[in-house]
Amino acid sequence: MAPDLIADPETDPTATYAVDPALARRLAKRVVAAPRAPHHTSRTPLSGAPLAPLPQSTRADVAVAVDAARAAQRAWARTPMELRERIFLRYHDLVLERQVELLDSIQLESGKTRRQAFEEVADVALVARHYARSAAAYLHPRRRAGLFPVLTQSVEHHHPRGVVGIVAPWNYPLTLAITDAIPALLAGNAVVLRPDQQASLTALHAVDLLTEAGLPESVLQVVLGDGPTVGQAVVDLADYVCYTGSTATGREVASSLAGRLVGYSLELGGKNAMYVADDADLGRAVEGAVRACFSSAGQLCVSVERLIVHDAVADEFTARLVEAVKQMRLGGDLAYGPDMGSLVGPTQLERVSAHVEDARAKGATVLVGGRARPDLGPYFYEPTVVTGVTAAMDLRDDETFGPVVSLYRVRTDEEAIRLANDTDYGLNASVYSRNVMRGRRIATAIKAGTVNVNEGYAAAWGSVASPMGGMKQSGVGRRHGREGILKYTESQNVTAQYLLPITPVLGMSQETWAKVMTGALRALKATGRR
């Protein structure tokens, strides 16, 4: 059920808030900000009601947070891995136990449905468990082949970078605030987190639970404020930066860090494609397409915005899809039931509407949807399927980030692959075929960081032992798996040389030494030495 709207006379005697003011005040204490800092109040997209006032940080506050995190990191890096693991296994349990309050917060801030909010709860639990049980193996020193067998012994080590800055977006308030922090912390780093203003309450909930699980408070600092000021300060001061957001801003982040030679990972935009082959199970493909296109009202980096359908099944698939979309239930209930929720705010609503109207004006056909639903809430927009989209339309190549998908027909797998790759982006893709080997073959030809076979996005996203990230303009680096934790470390090669130095010995001339080395190199190759 939705929480009561409770007045908070201490901050605004005329306002009512969608979040209990006592809870908001408790969470606000976790923000690094001056005692009399100005407050920002975001609004829930479900109704437009104010959520809760939260203090805003300044650039100076970010510097204080980074300094505190850096001081705490030294002790945290010395904390035994077994203790770090126990904290995050406890966190796994707390997230599942307290999921109702987290689900409420996610829905209130993002506008998504209960079911889609649960994806975030499950994701955080999965990531916490995976890294709690795998971090030690990922980070353990590894013996590597030395120059000479036995005589040269090389060991690869991984050290924490220091303070990791995470700049997180609004569309996945829980997942993107905390799942990048989990491996960074387990690797021995401290974290300074700047969640989007629209996602601050959920992020603070997540941090509150981490502290309850046993994480030292100073190891994870939270700053709040706008991107150009507070987000940029995190980029300017951290030892490594993890950014999730638009490609345009990602380029700016990379440019800012280039001068300091600081590492970064970026998950950026996408124009993701799903291919329905001529042998696909159409019932399964339609159900998958509905989820892949309209989960979180399309405000998901890996959601599908282009449906590529083999001509042999296009008529039947299209008819089934349109009927399935017509049956979707829209709503803002803080309970399970609706199939799709709201867009997050006026900017997204304007962008979605503009893309659809531009396509209409230039000759595209809207098969279903294509209009706002103010009767449901200020930013609701119907799930929309468009056909006849051409390169002259913004919908063809620009990321919409909303519940709109364009439909294309092809005659061959090769044509489908070319169309799927005909984009500057390469984040996620999907292939539906009853022949899984055929599906895998097509998938490997698509230039995207993750490709699902007979699923839209959840299979690859939920396989947290495997890397996830973008090709081309969709990003740099990976989250999840070994890459998702090692990126937060500096690798070091420590090599010991035994008995003989790597130089002429016992009066050997340089020419003789070179001949001996030549023979040794040939012998190593002949014996299969790597």
DSSP of 136-187: HHHHS-EEEE-SSTTTEEEEEEEEE-SEEEEE--SSSTTHHHHTTHHHHHHT
Could you please report the per-residue DSSP string of 429-450? EEEE-S-HHHHHHHHHHS--SE
Q: Is 267 a catalytic residue?
A: yes
Q: How far apart are CA 298 and CA 500, in angstroms?
A: 63
CB neighbourhood size of 320 (10 A): 17
Q: Exactly one of 120, 267, 382, 455 is catalytic; name it.
A: 267
Q: Are 277 and 98 in contact (CB under 8 A)?
A: no
Q: What is the DSSP secondary structure assignment for residue 4, as one 8-state letter?
A: P
Is 301 tagged catalytic? Answer: yes
Q: Is 35 exposed, middle or buried (0-12, 13-18, 19+ CB in 10 A)?
A: exposed
Q: In angstroms, rounded to a whole number, what is the distance separating the alpha carbons of residues 298 and 369?
A: 14
The order of strands in the sheet holding 263-267 is 220-222, 190-194, 163-167, 240-244, 263-267, 475-476
Report the relative pairing of strands 263-267 and 475-476 from DSSP bridges: antiparallel
| Residue 80: other Cβ atoms inside 10 A | 8
Residue among 109, 301, 399, 455 flagged as catalytic: 301
C-alpha distance from residue 231 to each of 222, 223, 299 (Å): 11, 9, 21
Instruction: Please identify every residue annotated as catalytic.
Output: 267, 301
